[in-house]
């Protein structure tokens, strides 16, 4: 909700122009994103950290599968190989324990599906409806907040047997809540912008880069325990990211050169051909 309020103020100051979008599309999109966030958090709560990392790793191949089947998008063998290296590297570096349970597995599968579909729609809606990331986020944020506000306390009550509204919030706790809300504005904005300008797969690649950076900073700054396996995994993952960036850049240049070579087609009148 803080994201919507912030963007509403920005719109009032004419920092961007609000564009009406089909209400049904925006509502379903916002609810889907809210459900995705909730399922990812539940997946983390019901599973071990290692299995949760595996869940996040599964998002890329499932996104590739969905885009190939339903959007007819083609991924070259080079791109697939670079993504494979990336996933193997992140898996080696971050996945430790794998404790499976039925409820956690179901939640993880639902989280993967909703996250992939939500991110694909984030890109597709912006391009097909010709709206910016800011316009889409502004329109969908209230529905996303509503589904989380309604379902969040109920799920929390069911799992912890505690009422979130009965908690006595100190000034320090409130300060951190406000800080996290402000940070979430930047996170939501950057998420929609990156997915809209690039692709859901590229966004996930950046997310795994964040994982590698967190592990590296934890070792260098906080002196977290670090094994040879972690170092090898990070190096393999970064190498895969480099290959992915290079192959994507080469394919984009090739596509641009083809478009330029075709150029605008000039249709001559039939009389000039006789």
pLDDT in tens, 211-263: 898 888 888 887 778 889 989 999 999 999 999 999 999 998 888 887 677 65
Element holding 72 (H helix, E strand): none
pTM reported for the whole predicted model = 0.90
Point out the residues of the chain with pLDDT beneath 70: 259, 262-274
What is the rounded CA–CA span in Å between residue 18 and residue 42?
A: 34
Are 44 and 103 in contact by the 8 Å Cβ rule? The answer is: no
Distance CA 1, CA 143 (A): 9
| Distance separating alpha carbons of residues 146 and 253, to the nearest angstrom | 43
Contacts of 141 (CB under 8 A, 6+ apart): 1, 3, 4, 7, 30, 188
The H-assigned helical ranges of 49-101 are 49-70, 77-94
- The token pair at 204 is 């996930």
3-state secondary structure of 47: coil
Q: Report, in angstroms and rounded to the nearest whole number, the Rg of the chain calculated over CA atoms.
A: 22
pLDDT at 195 (0 to 100): 96
If DSSP codes are grouped into helix, strand and coil, which group holds residue 17? coil
74 φ/ψ angles, rounded to the nearest 5 degrees: -100, 130
Instruction: Select from 223, 251, 213, 205 the least CA-distant residue to 85.
Output: 205
Looking at residue 175, what is its pLDDT?
A: 96
Q: Read off the DSSP letter of residue 130.
A: T
List the structure tokens of 238: 């970064």
At residue 272, the pLDDT reads 47
Q: Which residue ranges make up each domain of the chain? A: 2-167+174-253
Q: How far apart are CA 92 and CA 78, in angstroms?
A: 21
């Amino acid at each position: 909700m803080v994201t919507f309020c912030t963007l509403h103020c920005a719109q009032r100051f004419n920092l961007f122009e609000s564009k009406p979008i089909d209400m049904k599309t925006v509502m379903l999109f916002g609810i889907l994103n809210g459900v995705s966030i909730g399922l990812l958090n539940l997946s983390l709560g019901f599973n071990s950290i290692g299995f949760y990392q595996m869940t996040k790793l599964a998002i890329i191949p499932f996104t590739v599968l969905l885009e190939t089947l339903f959007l007819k998008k083609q991924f070259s063998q080079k791109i697939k190989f670079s993504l494979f290296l990336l996933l193997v590297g992140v898996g080696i570096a971050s996945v430790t324990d794998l404790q499976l349970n039925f409820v956690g597995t179901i939640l993880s599968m639902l989280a993967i599906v909703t996250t992939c579909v939500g991110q694909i729609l984030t890109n597709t809606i912006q391009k097909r409806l010709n709206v910016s990331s800011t316009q889409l986020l502004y329109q969908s944020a209230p529905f996303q907040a509503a589904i989380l506000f309604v379902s969040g306390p109920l799920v929390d009550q069911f799992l912890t047997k505690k009422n979130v509204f009965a908690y006595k919030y100190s000034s320090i706790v409130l300060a951190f809540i406000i800080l996290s809300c402000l940070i979430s504005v930047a996170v939501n904005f950057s998420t929609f912008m990156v997915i809209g300008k690039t692709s859901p797969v590229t966004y996930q690649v950046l997310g795994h880069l964040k994982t590698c950076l967190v592990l590296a900073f934890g070792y260098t700054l906080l002196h977290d325990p670090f094994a040879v396996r972690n170092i090898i995994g990070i190096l393999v993952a970064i190498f895969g990211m480099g290959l992915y960036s290079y192959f994507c850049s080469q394919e984009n240049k090739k596509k641009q050169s083809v478009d330029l070579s075709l150029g605008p087609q000039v249709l001559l009148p039939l009389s000039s051909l006789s």
